[in-house]
Structure 1
Amino acid sequence: MTTTPFPETREALSLSLQDAGFDMPVVEHLTAQARPAILLVTSGFGETEPPLGTSRLGGRPDLPPDMAWPTRPPYPDAEARAGYHRREAERLLADSGKPRSWMTPEQGERFSKEHRDKADAIESEFPLAFFGQFDLADLSQQPGFDLAFPDEGRLLVFYDFWEQPEDFTPAASVGWKVVWDKTPASDLVRAPFPAALTAISDDDWSSIFKPAHITGKTVLTPIPPNDKGWNAFPLDDDEALEDYHEWLSQFGTPDMQGRANHQFGGFPQTLQNGLQARSQLAANGIDCGSGDAWRTPEAQALLASANDWRLVLQIGVDAHTGMKPPGAYYVLMRDQDIAARNFDRARVTYQCD
C-alpha cells in the first residue's frame, strides 16, 4: 500500500486539510495544533561497524565502561505470568497429539518448550532486548527537535521483547528501561550480546536486531482524535470524525512495510486508543485491565492529567533491523518528568491492530 509522507510545513498541512474539505476554522485549529517531529529514516550499515555513540536501531548498545547490559528482575507478578505460560505449554503439547491437529508432535514440543522457557525466565533476572540509541546532540540540529528534551547525550531503549509486557499493569514496568547517558562517545564500550538473548533467538524469531543507521527528517504530525488534547471538533460529530480518520489514513501506520515508521517527538500514529490514559493509571499504581478500575474516584482524578503524557519515541516495523509486524512500540513520558530529566519514569507500550 502506498502512503503519503507527512507534510513538512504548516502551509502544506493546511492545504492538505482544505483539499479534504474541512472548514477553515477546523483547518486553522488543526494546523496550529500539529507538532513538529523528527522522522527517523533507517538504512543498513552493510559490513561496516556503526561509529560509537551514533543514533541507530538495533545492533549492540554503546554503554559507559561501568554499565552492564540492562536486565529486569523477576516480574512482581511472576507466579501468575509463569503459571499462564506453563498451562499454555501443557495445552499445546496435548493439542499436538490430537487427530487433525494444526501442529505436528514435533511442533507441539517446540512451542511447548518455548512457553516453559519463558515461564522460567519470568521468574528470574533476564536481559532486556536493545531497541536502539538516539544521539540527542545530533537530533537537536533538526528544526523539528522538541526543546523540552536535552540536547546532549543519548537515549537508549531496552525492552522485554520476549514477554511483551502489557501497558495496563504497574507490574509490567520492570519490562523496559530507558537510559539517558551523557558519557563522551570516545569513552563508550560496545556491549556484547548476553548469552540468554542469543539462546532464545533464531532466524524465525529473535530478541536481537540488526543495526540500522538513522537519518533524521523534520515533519509535522497531526493530532490523532484519541489524544487527550483533542478539541478541533466534537468527537460525537460522526461525519467529521470519519472524514478526519480517512484523511489521516493516507499517512499510514507504523506497522506497515515500506514507510518510515520511527519518530522522535510529535504526535504518535497509534494502533489502539488509550495510550496516555493507561500510562497515567498504570504509572500511578492502578491496574487498569478491567473496566471497574477506570470508574473509581482515584482513577477519574488521575485521568484529568492524562494529557501530561507525550510521545518521546515511536519504533515500528523495520526491514533493516528485522523488526517484523505486527505492531509498534511507543515510549511515553510526562512533561514534568521530561523537564526533570527523569527518563527512568518513561513507559514503553506495545500496540498492535
Structure 2
Amino acid sequence: MADTPLPPDRETLTHTLQATGLPAAIVAHLAAQARPAVLMPTTAGDEDAIPAGASKLGGRPDLPQGMAWPLRPPYPDADRRAQYYNRKADDLLANPPSWARTKGVEWFSNEHRAKAQAVAKDFPLAFFGQFNLAELAQAPGFDPVFPTEGRLLVFYDYWIEPEEFTPEAAVGWRVIWDPSPVAELVRAPVPQALLAISNDEWSCVFPPAPVTTQHSVITPMPFNDKGWDAFPLEDNAEFTAYDAWFCAFGTPDEKNRDNHQFGGFPQPLQNGLQARSQLAANGLNCGGNIWHTAQAKALLESAAQWRLVVQIGADPHARFADVGAYYVMMREADIVARRFDQARVVYQCD
C-alpha cells in the first residue's frame, strides 16, 4: 500500500526530491517537468441521486438526446479471435483444469463460444465513466490543454478486453467528448446484451460511483516515459534513489488510494504505454518482433507525443477489479484538435 500521497504542489515535490540526495540540477529539472493533474476519489452512489452530467465511474452514461449507447463493430480480425476462443473452449472440455470444475467446465466453455460469436458482430461497449470537464477545470491541477466544457465519456469492451498493441483492437473502445448542454442529456438504459453476460460474481455493468471533491496534485515523470532526460538510467545510484522515491506514491491497482486521475503523468504498471500506442495507432502490431524494424524505430522517435488523458484504477465502489489499471492515451496534437476518436485505451497489470 502506498505510504506517500502525490505532492499537492511543485514546491512540495521539490522538497521531497531533495531529500533523496539527488543532485540539485536533477531535482530542479524533474520538478520543472512534473505535470499538474486532478485526482478523482469516488464514493458509493445512488444512480437517481447523481446529477445529470456529473463525474462518475460506472452506472449509466448521460448521453445527448438521440445518441445510442456506443457499439463496437466486428473486430477486423474477428476470424482469428473466434478461432482463439473456440480453441480455448475445446481445450477446456478436453483437459478440464481444477479451477474450472467448481463451476462447471461447460459453463466456461460456453462463455468462450459466446465470445467467439461476439467478436464477429456489433456489440455494446461497457461504460467505464464520464468526467465533467467544466467541474474538473475549476481545480488548479487541471491542464488547460483539455476542453473546459462538456464531458469526456469512456466506453470499453470489458468482456473481450482487447490487447492494446494491435491496430485491430481500436474498435474495442470509444472515448467521446460531448459538449452538449446538461439540459439535453438523457441517462441511457443499459443494453440487454451487457446485462445478459453479467452476474453477481462478474459484470460488465458497474455500480455508479460518483466522484467526490476532486483535488490537485503534481505528478512526477516515470523513468519509462519517452521524454525522460533527467539522467542516464544506467546510473545505478541515481536510478535507485529516484525509483524508491517514485514507487513510494504507489500504483493505481492498490486499495485505500486515490487511483483515478485526470491529466498529468501516469503511474504505469508496465513499460510501453507510449510506445505501444504509437506503433499500434500507426498500423503496426507490436506484439512480436516489429520493434527493431526501421519503420518502428522511426515511429518511436515521436512516441513522447502520447500523454495520459485519464487513468482509471481499482475502485471498491464501482467494483473495478484491483488487478490492474486502464489508461486513456492520446497524442497532444489530437487533444488540442479535440480528436478524441484517436484515443487509445491501454490496460496494464502487474
Amino acid at match of 1:110: W
- Asked if 1:75 corresponds to 2:69, the answer is no
- Asked if 1:269 corresponds to 2:267, the answer is yes
Give the alignment's Cα RMSD to 1 decimal.
Answer: 1.3
The match for 1:51 is 51
Query: CA contact under 8 A between 2:46 and 2:208: conserved in structure 1?
Result: no
Query: CA contact under 8 A between 1:3 and 1:259: conserved in structure 2?
Result: no
Query: CA contact under 8 A between 1:95 and 1:108: conserved in structure 2?
Result: no
Task: Report the TM-score, using the length of structure 1 for normalisation.
Answer: 0.96
- Secondary structure of 2:195's match? helix
Paired residue for 2:108, among 95, 107, 111? 111
Range moving further from structure 2, 239-248 or 126-135: 239-248
Paired residue for 1:220, among 218, 228, 232? 218
Amino acid at match of 2:216: T
Paired residue for 2:172, among 161, 171, 175? 175
Paired residue for 1:248, among 232, 241, 246? 246
- Secondary structure of 2:207's match? coil
User: What is the distance in 2 between the residues matched to 1:106 and 1:41?
Assistant: 35
- Secondary structure of 1:44's match? coil
Query: CA contact under 8 A between 1:277 and 1:306: conserved in structure 2?
Result: yes
CA separation of 1:2 and 1:306: change in aligned 2, threshold 3 A: closer
- Secondary structure of 2:153's match? strand
Q: In the TM superposition, what whole-angstrom CA distance separates every residue of 1:54-90 from its partner, at most 9, and x where no partner exists?
A: 1111100000111100010110001111111111111
CA separation of 1:47 and 1:277: change in aligned 2, threshold 3 A: closer
Q: 1:28-43 residue pairs with structure 2 within 5 A?
A: 28-43=28-43
Amino acid at match of 2:143: D
- Asked if 1:312 corresponds to 2:291, the answer is no
**What is the deviation of 1:105?**
7.4
The match for 2:140 is 143
Paired residue for 2:182, among 179, 185, 201? 185
User: What is the distance in 1 between the residues matched to 2:304 and 2:202?
Assistant: 36
- Secondary structure of 2:104's match? helix
User: What is the distance in 2 between the residues matched to 1:47 and 1:299?
Assistant: 46
**What is the deviation of 1:239?**
2.4
Paired residue for 1:120, among 117, 124, 128? 117
**What is the deviation of 1:48?**
4.6
Structure 1: gaps spanning 5 or more residues? none
Amino acid at match of 1:216: Q
Paired residue for 1:295, among 280, 292, 296? 292
- Asked if 1:24 corresponds to 2:24, the answer is yes
User: What is the distance in 2 between the residues matched to 1:203 and 1:23?
Assistant: 53
Structure 2: gaps spanning 5 or more residues? none
Poorly superposed stretches of 4+, deviation over 6 Å: none
Aligned residues: 349
User: What is the distance in 1 between the residues matched to 2:134 and 2:228?
Assistant: 31
Q: In the TM superposition, what whole-angstrom CA distance separates every residue of 1:175-227 from its partner, at most 9, and x where no partner exists?
A: 00000111111111100000010011112111111111113110000000000
- Secondary structure of 1:41's match? coil
The match for 1:162 is 159
The match for 2:325 is 328
User: What is the distance in 1 between the residues matched to 2:100 and 2:251?
Assistant: 33
User: What is the distance in 2 between the residues matched to 1:55 and 1:105?
Assistant: 39
Query: CA contact under 8 A between 2:47 and 2:208: conserved in structure 1?
Result: no
